[in-house]
Structure 1
């Protein structure tokens, strides 16, 4: 069998060899209608002699003369003539191989793209029309020598954004530079115009198909190994954002601070191996790595790499203030309370640079639609604040005559953030509490009552850096709690000191009043002021006040520096009602006596059944006269003729009368004052016979507060006896009783 198979093979080979060369070439030869490769097409056209000489010198003749799959943006001879003149080079022969390599490799884009495809984005799921304005080129910087900490080192740029937990250098990715172009299809689809193009290239004419400042003169010249687009200018590889900052003296202060505080040079074994294999040099390689808290790494030529080609459709943007305006900001803002930049916390630098970074390509005409990495609108006037605008290899660069006036540096939050005496408050503001976002909102006005580190520590609060946890030690008992319990306690106290004051309501504390703390969307507790002191419910219990020891005005309000804390109450509201009832000739006495003798109340603890400590309530307590009227009307036990109350109900009917009466005068889930902030239907603690919730209607305007029961009866609060503070609650005195009816 083996002999037979071998014979068949020999016969077949003889038949093949017997075929004529002509027949073989006809079958396997190159089709006559196939275009020549790029190099030969350039030769045939006759107006690319300088480019061909440059290709030869760069060592790319063999590559472009045979296989491959390229798009080449080919500068014609006229383009080279202008280039040589501008560069002071006498003739094309004087271009060295290094320069030639830059020109050729930056003109080459991977894959072949006709004009109609250049504006489309090659996503992981297919073509997405008119979303692209960039393509990756064959050029990259590679390994560079750089002076680092006084030593000459081999450095390579990170090729990924150093997001937390992500790799900042991927072996095999050369960090190839991108080339930007401007095509009508893309520009129109993105609502862009010649204005956007000329903002970056003011000396060029927008033609509808531009490559940087060049115009494409002949499109879609087909070659065997790609597509050629003829351009009228020679383009050298663009620098990236990192290189722009490092080499432009106008922004040297911006770059120096960035490099000294948010850049590290990290030894990398993969990069070292690649370099040593390439260069036959034994030196180590260090990757220039930007802080992971930044929006992106300015030396990363790739975009986000959430998809392989996402750099085709977007890029980064940096707004860099010039030296003089940055120095003024440093002197007047950053160093107002610090001695030098060396002692500023790292997070301040991270925030400052993120305020000037956008994880998108910011087009001039659409500037209002972008936010910086801090999620703030961009606060630049393009006509007055921009000194220069450049398209770079990995993004857009705007040199500015002002800083981005970030909320963090001009709000009441700033008073803590930029002062070393308030690091504990700042830490809590920043740790996910949401307080930073509230107090730094420049569009809303606040008053902030701010305790220093000394005040907090003297009153038992601290932060254990080694264990990364909050600590609270009670000054009264010496008991210590840590972690979530301690943090929750401080969180609640500091929230008492954040007050929305859209009209500067607390700019004068010489009188007296009450106001709600917390954000408008997440109400806090009520605090009071009197004769330049402030206090919360807990301060009343422990009989102390908070004194103002200074203040500072910011763009969105006022910060008061305080010597004590706005303490919350840790006792049940029943004890507060009891104290009110025990005052001489108290109008709360009758209601409290019914409460005290009811099954709802535990006099020893002050607990009212159905109430939870730390939950918001409003108590609408009928005055003594209203209680007497309720007795006369038969709604409470007592003598209906005289109105004399009977505080000890006899039988289940009277017990239920008292219980339902009390519950219907306690509003659940809301703390309501006469400030116009809360109104409408509010749930009470009473449930009907079917277990359904019952409600009271609230009419609320500044200085007026009316409660309306289910039958439409009205009860008005009595201002002089109302707005009494309790645990997340207010206790009001009203001039009528409320009655639930089906």
Structure 2
């Protein structure tokens, strides 16, 4: 009680003071003379907005628009309403229901006040970006909708984010209005043709709101700006809604709804709904698969910053039912019995192939790529049959399906065949293989072992642990995890060959050697001969851990090459390179003279084949002088007379070690294909510890190596005895030695 007495003793004198001053303060805070009337009073006073003011009252917005605020109003005049009433069957404004009235009024209201000169500027977090905007957020949003989902009634609300952040409570998902201005068009290299592509019967004036004309701009009001329009605009549908109500695209939509949509209960939305309606229903958010480039029911743009929807929107190009059904029958179901049996990633890729995370203006369509990074393969003059400016972007209906690389490349042979899910998984797991072999602009040959073959080789995928597993068929030892995945990645890279000239098109009747991978990431070399494939591991005797040759058992021709079906992998070798040279020496005496010096050198371990400085898994080229070349090296005292270390001085041992190192190119695998030329580093270091080099000349059918001595002839490879495979290495027989 004491506190209350003190409170009133304090407040009452203040009230008296304020009362005594009110006559002096009132003039200061009076509405300034000459200030324009608020929006509602302006509309009322002008006399040609009678229908609009009536609807403002019916929508409950008279009070809001009669007071202070900050709005832009796209205001249709009475002439516009006369046409609207005729089109919609209303005899007069009194017959317009309150829901329609609210749609018209709220969609006509843009947050914040913008004169015409500012509407083309993007209101970014860093300031105004001139001539970079063509959309603004309106006061209209759909809110809660009652729908029948899978035969059950549900109250749903659209998602308001993309990706994994799928719904933010408190964001009403307001619709945007699109307008077209000369300033924006000039800045973006657009023309009236872009406007008329969507609105062929409308006139482009340089300031249009959707297809309506602005008949008078910049009517200034106390609480904003009015732009007078000659047409009434109802809120457009978003892409999700347009798909739902248009039966021409029902097949494509059905694929999305059944595979890439879910309805998640949301407590915050439910609480808001119950408080607002006093009903007890649960509310579900319609979510799209987070792998999609955007959610078609998301009215916001990226939300990287609050206003980014002013500067851009989405595009979706959707095939009509007939075109899509043909694609399903001829492409998707080539190896599957029903659409329902396709893997989820096929649906994700298919829809992303028809999405662009930007508004695709028709005259600039070549500037855009889809969500898979592909060019848009549509002729906008002949292939696009339906064009709509919607609330969250552009919609194009098409008489064809986007010819995505994923469905017409060698990648497709695994991707759309249930017998090759393991191969597809490896291609897809961030290896870059998918992007490589699905590039329709480059030609590839791939070798595909089926899931059954991989399982027979001991490989499987543990879906519970999410990792690869391998049981060694030789000893039953099981391993799993990253090591097994890396092993498979290397094996599958041996199965990918860039073949720009169709080098492997006639694999059944030809033979040769070729490098796997592509020019950006060279792989290992493999050989082929009459429908058989060999990597380094297929040349190692089976008793020493090698593998049999790979047999080609079928093929499929795609637009960028051939997929050959095979009965096992081209195996990489776990044998040290010295052992490969030893085997060559045992069968070809031309290699033996060099091998005798190698075997007895201080840098070689005969029991394992280990050469000092040479490691498994790294790339090398071994240049082996033939018998006559070794004899010349001995005569020139480049090598000691005897290869036996016991008969050599320490200086001679060092000379041999240097000689061998100088005949090994480090970190490069060189063949006669012209891929690698010029100065290449060897394993040898000079007396100062600096690297030494040899000059490589390589072209189709020829290969030679030149030292830097200046007076020694180049060592030319002997084709019949060269291009021998070892672990990430090639071993060549040459007709001369290199002088360190």
Indicate the residue corresponding to 2:504 in structure 1. 506
How far is 1:235 from its partner? Answer: 0.3
Q: Alpha carbon RMSD of aligned pairs, Å? A: 1.9
Tell me, which stretches of 5 or more residues in structure 1 are unaligned?
Answer: 639-643
How far is 1:13 from its partner? Answer: 6.5
**Aligned partner of 1:280 among 255, 278, 281:** 278
SS where residue 145 of structure 1 aligns? strand
SS where residue 514 of structure 1 aligns? strand
Cα deviation, 1:23-72, whole Å, max 9, x if unaligned, reads 66533321121111111101111111111111122121111112221100
Indicate the residue corresponding to 2:577 in structure 1. 573
Cα deviation, 1:312-367, whole Å, max 9, x if unaligned, reads 11111101011011111100111100010111111110010011111111111221
Cα deviation, 1:170-220, whole Å, max 9, x if unaligned, reads 121111100011111111111111111111111111111110001111111
Name the CA distance, whole Å, in 1 between partners of 2:109 and 2:215: 17
Cα deviation, 1:606-648, whole Å, max 9, x if unaligned, reads 111110111100011000000000011110111xxxxx86665
Name the CA distance, whole Å, in 2 between partners of 1:10 and 1:562: 97
Indicate the residue corresponding to 1:392 in structure 2. 390
Indicate the residue corresponding to 2:521 in structure 1. 522
Contact 1:416/1:450 (CA < 8 Å) preserved in 2?
yes
Indicate the residue corresponding to 2:241 in structure 1. 243
Indicate the residue corresponding to 2:722 in structure 1. 722
Indicate the residue corresponding to 2:415 in structure 1. 417
Change (3 A) 1:273 1:19: closer
Indicate the residue corresponding to 1:175 in structure 2. 173
Indicate the residue corresponding to 2:543 in structure 1. none
Contact 2:74/2:108 (CA < 8 Å) preserved in 1?
yes
Q: Describe how 1:547-562 pairs up with structure 2 within 5 A.
A: 547-562=551-566
Change (3 A) 1:587 1:94: same
How far is 1:519 from its partner? Answer: 2.0
**Aligned partner of 1:602 among 577, 602, 605:** 605
Name the CA distance, whole Å, in 2 between partners of 1:598 and 1:112: 86
Change (3 A) 1:491 1:531: same
**Aligned partner of 2:638 among 635, 638, 660:** 635
Q: Describe how 1:91-110 pairs up with structure 2 within 5 A.
A: 91-110=92-111
SS where residue 594 of structure 1 aligns? helix
Contact 1:594/1:648 (CA < 8 Å) preserved in 2?
no
SS where residue 590 of structure 2 aligns? coil
Tell me, which stretches of 5 or more residues in structure 2 are unaligned?
Answer: 541-545
SS where residue 587 of structure 1 aligns? helix
How far is 1:298 from its partner? Answer: 0.5
Indicate the residue corresponding to 1:328 in structure 2. 326
Contact 1:538/1:566 (CA < 8 Å) preserved in 2?
yes
Contact 1:447/1:557 (CA < 8 Å) preserved in 2?
yes
Name the CA distance, whole Å, in 2 between partners of 1:615 and 1:10: 91
Contact 2:596/2:643 (CA < 8 Å) preserved in 1?
no
Contact 2:600/2:643 (CA < 8 Å) preserved in 1?
no
Contact 1:357/1:372 (CA < 8 Å) preserved in 2?
yes
Indicate the residue corresponding to 2:43 in structure 1. 42
Cα deviation, 1:71-105, whole Å, max 9, x if unaligned, reads 00000111111111111222122111111111001
Q: What TM-score do the two structures reach when normalised by structure 1?
A: 0.96
Change (3 A) 1:592 1:647: farther
Name the CA distance, whole Å, in 1 between partners of 2:120 and 2:243: 30
Name the CA distance, whole Å, in 1 between partners of 2:7 and 2:66: 43
Q: Describe how 1:81-100 pairs up with structure 2 within 5 A.
A: 81-100=82-101
SS where residue 216 of structure 2 aligns? strand
**Aligned partner of 2:190 among 186, 189, 192:** 192
SS where residue 699 of structure 1 aligns? strand
Contact 2:135/2:178 (CA < 8 Å) preserved in 1?
yes
Contact 1:637/1:646 (CA < 8 Å) preserved in 2?
no
Number of residue equivalences: 729
Name the CA distance, whole Å, in 2 between partners of 1:627 and 1:62: 103
Contact 1:637/1:649 (CA < 8 Å) preserved in 2?
no
Indicate the residue corresponding to 2:351 in structure 1. 353
Contact 1:120/1:130 (CA < 8 Å) preserved in 2?
yes
Indicate the residue corresponding to 1:641 in structure 2. none
Q: Describe how 1:5-16 pairs up with structure 2 within 5 A.
A: none
